[in-house]
Amino acid sequence: MTHNEGTIDRTARVVLGVGILSLTFIGPHTWFGLLGLVPLATGFVGFCPLYRALGISTCRVRV
């Protein structure tokens, strides 16, 4: 499994994931906040299956 997310993309996903996940605890208390686990996990791992399927990579190419 290779990385296909750049640093800015990973940081944005972690921040977005924490924000969405916080809806479960401090927001409207809905279970939809658990959807924040998806961007949080992909941000920590650095790999997005959807990016791979679409052939997208925001990671710098190593030469």
pLDDT (tens digit, 9 = 90+) per residue, 12-48?
Answer: 999 999 999 998 989 888 889 999 999 999 999 999 9
Q: What is the pLDDT of residue 62?
A: 61
Q: What is the pLDDT of residue 60?
A: 85
**Confidence band of 63 (pLDDT split at 50, 70, 90):** very low
Tell me the pTM. 0.85
Q: What is the dihedral of CA 33, 35, 41, 47, to 10 degrees?
A: -150
Please enumerate in sequence order all residues whose Cβ is within 8 A of that of 37, keeping only pairs 6 or more positions apart, or say none: 17, 21
Domain locations in the chain?
A: 7-54
Distance between CA atoms of residues 33 and 21, nearest Å: 5
